[in-house]
Structure 1
Amino acid sequence: MKNLLRIEINSNRIYGLDILRALAIIFVVAEHGEYLMPKARYKYINFFLFDGVNIFFVLSGFLIGGILIKILKENRLNSKLIINFWIKRWFRTFPNYFLILTILILLNVFFNDNFSLYDYKRYFLFSQNLFSAHPNFFPEAWSLSVEEWFYLLLPIVLFISIKVLKISIGNSILFSAFSIIISITLFRYFRYTTLTINEFWVWDITFRKQVFTRLDSLMYGVIGAYIYSRYIIFWNKYRIQFLALGLILYIFMKFNLFEFKSFGLFNCVFSFSLTSIATLFLLPYLSSVKKGKGVIFKLMTYTSLISYSMYLINLTIVQNWILGNIEWSILENFNRYVFLLTRYSIYWLLTVAISIIMHKYFEIPIMNLRDKIRIK
C-alpha cells in the first residue's frame, strides 16, 4: 500500500511555489467542504480560507509566462513554435480533464434519466462559460475554461504584437498582458453599469466564473514572469517587503477592511485585480525558496503534485457521486456530530487518495508521453 501511493519528488522543484499551490488547493477543497458542514461550524474554517482559484490563476500566469519568455529568447517565433507550446500545455491539462468529464458523462448516462449529452457539448470546447453562467454540471470546470483560453489566446496575441505590430519580444509580453488586463477590466465595468447585481450567486456567475471576466487574473502572473526575467535583482531585493504587502492586501480583502459595498463597483470590477496583485506580491519571496526538508516539506510538495487531480474530483466525484450516494442515516441518528466529522474526514481522505492514484498512474505516464512529442 505504501508503494501504491508513493510519489517521487523532482529535486528541481521550487518549494516556495509548491507551498503556494498546495495552499491554493487546500483552500479550494476546504471551501467546497462547506456543503458537508453546518454553517455555524463552517464559519470558523472559512475564517482561514482565501481565494484559492485566483492563486492558481496568477501562479499559472507566472509559470506559463516564464516558459513563453524562455521560448521566445531561444527560438525564432513561428507557427510551429506556438503549436509545440499548445501541445505541451494541452497534454498537461486535457487528459485529466477529459478523463473526469468522461466518467461524469457515463455516470449520468446510466443513472440520470434526464441527461442529454448534446446539452453539454460545449464542455468539449471549454466554451460553456465564455460569456454566460457556468452550468451546474461539473462546476469545477469553470476555472479550467479560463486557463485553456489563456493558453490559446496569449501566444496568438504575442504573435500579432511581434509579427504584425513589430513590437520587440520583451515589450510584446507587457503589451499583451496589459492589453488583456485593460480589456477585461473594461468589460467587467461595462457589465457592472448595465446589470443589476444584488445577490451573491448573481455576482458569482456573472463576474467570478466567466472566461471573459477573469482572463486578466492570469496576466498579472505574466507580468511577474516578465519582471523576474528582466529585473531579477529588484525582484529579489524587495521580496520581503512585497510579501508583507501581499499578505496585508489579502487580509484587507478577506475581511473587507476597505468597507466597500458588497456588490458595488469595487467588488464587481476591481476586487479581482487587487486579489491578483496581492498574489503577485507573494511570488518574489516564494520563488526564492528553492528547497525544503522535513514532514511539512513533503506534505506541501505532495499536495502540490496532486493539486490538479484534487481540484477535478473533490466536489463532483467525491462529494456528490460517492458521499452523496452513501446511506448515512444510521450514523446520523446515532450522533450528528460524529456523522459530520466522519463524512468530512472521508471527504478529505478520498480526495487525497484518489488524486494520488490518478496522478501516479495516469497523469505521470501522460506527461512522459508528452515529452516525446514535438512538431518538427
Structure 2
Amino acid sequence: MMKVLSINIKQDRVFGLDILRCLAILFVVIGHGNYLLPTKISNIIDYFIFDGVSIFFVLSGFLIGGILIKEIENKDISFKLILNFWKRRWFRTLPNYFLILIILCILSVSFDKDFDGIRSIARYFVFSQNLFTPHPGFFPEAWSLSVEEWFYLLTPLIILFISFTLKSSKKQTLIMTASLVIIAVTVFRFYRFLTVTINDISDWDLIFRKQVFTRLDSLMYGVVGAYFAYYYKSNWLKYKRSLFLIGFVILVFPKFISFNNFGTIYLCVFSFSINAIGTLFLIPYLSDFKKTKNAFIHKIVTYISLISYSMYLINLSIVKKWILNNVQIEDINSYLLIIIKYFLYWFLTIILSILIYKYFEIPTTKLREKIN
C-alpha cells in the first residue's frame, strides 16, 4: 500500500515555497471542511485560517512570472514563444481540471435529478462561467481555475502587444504589462463598486471575489515579485526578513476587524490588493528558505505541496458533495458522526489526491516533454 502511495521528491525544490503552497491548500481544505463541523467550532477555526486561494494566486504569479521572464530574456518576444508557454502551462493545469469536470458531469447526469444537462455547464469547458457573472454552483472550486487560465492566456498577449507597438525593451515591457493589468483591474473593481449594490457577504463573494476580471491583478502582483527577484535579486533578498514581518502583519491585521458591511470600498476594491501585497512580502524570505533539518516535516510539507492541485479540485465537489453527503450512518451519536465524516473528509481528500497526482497528473505533465 505504501509503495502505491509513495511519491518521488526532487531535491531541487524550494522548501519555503512548498511551505506557502502547503499552507494555502490546508487553509482551503480546512475552510471547506468547516461545513462539516458545528458552527461554534467552525467560527473559532476561521480565526486561524487565511484566504488560501489568494495565496495560491500570488504564488502562481510569482512562479509562472519567473518562468516567463526567463523565457523572454533568453529569446525574442514572439508568438512562437507564447505558444510554447501556453502549451507547457496547459499540459500542467488542464488534464486534472478536465478529468474532475468530466467525472462531475458523469455523476450529475447519472444521479442528480435536478441536473440541468451538459448545456448548462458547457461554459466550464472554456472557462467562461465567471468572466463577468457570478460563478454557478456546479463545481464551485473552478472559479479560481478560470482566473488563472485567463491570466495565462491574456498576460503573454499583452506583453506581445506592448512590445511590438511601443518597441520597448523586454524589461520595460514586463513592468508596463504588470502596471497596466494591476491598474485596469483595480479601476474595474472601483467602477463595479459604484454601480453594484452589495447586500451581504454572499454578494461580495460572487460579484467581487470570484470573478475573472476582478481578480487578475492578484496573480500579477506575483509577477511583480518575479520581476524584482530576477532583475534586482540582491535587494529582493536584502530586506527579506523585514518584508516577511510586514507581510505577516498585513495578512493578520484584518482578523482583528469586524466587517458588518461588505459593501465598503475597502472590501470591494482594495482588500484584494492589500492581501496580495501581504502575501507577496512573504515570498522573498520563503524563496530563499531551502530546507529544514527535520526530515519528517520536510516530507509531509513537500507531499502536501505536490498534491495540492489535486486536493483543491476534489475536496469540495467530489469528496464532500458526492461521497460524504451520501454517507448514511444510522444509530450513531451525532458527535461521533461528525468526527467520522471529518476524518473521512481529510483521509479521502489526501489519498485520492496522491493517486491522481501519481497516476494521472505526473504522466500527463510528462507528455509535454515528448511533444516539444
Residue 363 (structure 2) pairs with residue 362 (structure 1): no
Whether the 8 Å contact between 2:197 and 2:263 is mirrored in structure 1 is no
Q: Indicate the residue corresponding to 2:266 in structure 1.
A: 266
Following the alignment from structure 1 to structure 2, what is the Cα–Cα distance between the partners of residues 5 and 61? Answer: 30
How is 1:143-182 mapped onto 2 (pairs within 5 angstroms)? 143-182=144-183
- Which amino acid is 1:206 matched to? I
TM-score normalised by the chain length of structure 2: 0.97
CA–CA separation in structure 1 for the residues paired with 2:257 and 2:172: 36
| Residue number in structure 1 paired with 2:185 | 184
Pairing 1:316-331 to 2, within 5 Å after superposition: 316-331=317-332
Deviation, structure 1 residue 168: 1.0
Tell me which moved more, 248-257 or 94-103. Answer: 248-257
Aligned to 1:253: 254
User: Counterpart of 1:352?
Assistant: 350
8 Å Cα contact 1:260-1:266 kept in structure 2: no
Checking the alignment, whether the CA contact within 8 Å between 2:186 and 2:269 is kept in structure 1 is yes
C-alpha separation in 1, matches of 2:257 and 2:368: 44
For residues 80 and 262 of structure 1, the distance between their equivalents in structure 2, rounded to whole angstroms, comes to 44
Match among 330, 334, 343 for residue 336 of structure 1? 334
TM-aligned CA deviation for residue 65 of structure 1: 0.6
1: distance between equivalents of 2:261 and 2:271? 11
Amino acid at match of 1:155: P
Percent of aligned positions that are identical: 54
Q: CA deviation at 1:54?
A: 0.3
The alpha carbon displacement at 1:114 in A equals: 3.6
Cα distance in structure 1, aligned partners of 2:44 and 2:343? 17
AA at the equivalent of 2:48: F
Measured in 1, the distance between the counterparts of 2:328 and 2:335 equals: 16
1:315 equivalent in structure 2: 316
1:178 deviates by 1.0
**2:256 counterpart letter in structure 1:** F
Alignment of 1:191-206 (within 5 A): 191-206=192-207
Residue 62 of structure 1 aligns with an amino acid whose one-letter code is F
* 8 A Cα contact 1:247 1:278, kept in partner: yes
**What are the residue-to-residue correspondences of 1:12-31 with 2, within 5 Å?**
12-31=12-31
TM-score by length of 1: 0.96
Amino acid at match of 2:336: V
Distance 1:244 1:202 in 2: 33
- Divergent runs of 4+, >6 A: none
**Counterparts of 1:329 and 1:181, CA distance in 2:** 53
Contact 2:204 2:263 (8 Å CA) reproduced: yes
Letter in structure 2 aligned against 1:81: L
Residue 364 of structure 1 aligns with an amino acid whose one-letter code is: I
Structure 2: how far apart are the matches of 1:207 and 1:318? 27
Contact 1:260 1:267 in 2 (8 A): no
Q: Report if aligned partners of 1:62, 1:224 keep a CA contact under 8 Å in 2.
A: yes
2-structure distance, mates of 1:339, 1:110: 27
Measured after TM superposition, the shift of residue 261 of structure 1 is 5.1
Conserved? CA contact 1:158–1:173, under 8 Å: yes
d(CA) in 1 for partners of 2:188, 2:330: 48
Give the alignment of 1:226-241 within 5 angstroms: 226-241=227-242
Contact 1:61 1:221 in 2 (8 A): yes
Aligned residue in 1 for 2:122? 121
Is residue 60–residue 222 contact of structure 2 (8 Å, CA) maintained in 1?
Answer: yes
* Structure 1 residue identity aligned to 2:348: L
Local SS of the residue matching 1:26: helix
Deviations 1:207-240 (A, max 9, x none): 0000000000000000000000011111111000
Letter in 2 for 1:80: K
Between the aligned partners of 1:242 and 1:122, the Cα distance in structure 2 is: 40
Paired residue for 1:6?
Answer: 6
**Residue 253 of structure 1: CA displacement?**
2.1
Partners of 1:372 and 1:165 lie apart in 2 by 36
Question: Following TM superposition, by how much is the alpha carbon of 1:263 offset from its aligned partner in structure 2, in angstroms?
Answer: 2.5
Indicate the residue corresponding to 1:303 in structure 2.
Answer: 304
Separation in structure 2 between the aligned mates of residue 79 and residue 189 of structure 1, nearest angstrom: 33
Q: How far has the Cα of 1:260 moved from its partner?
A: 8.9
Contact 1:96 1:309 in 2 (8 A): yes
CA offsets, 1:156-187, max 9 Å, x none? 00001111221211111111111011111111
CA separation in 1, counterparts of 2:174 and 2:330? 57
Distance in 2 separating the partners of 1:330 and 1:322: 20
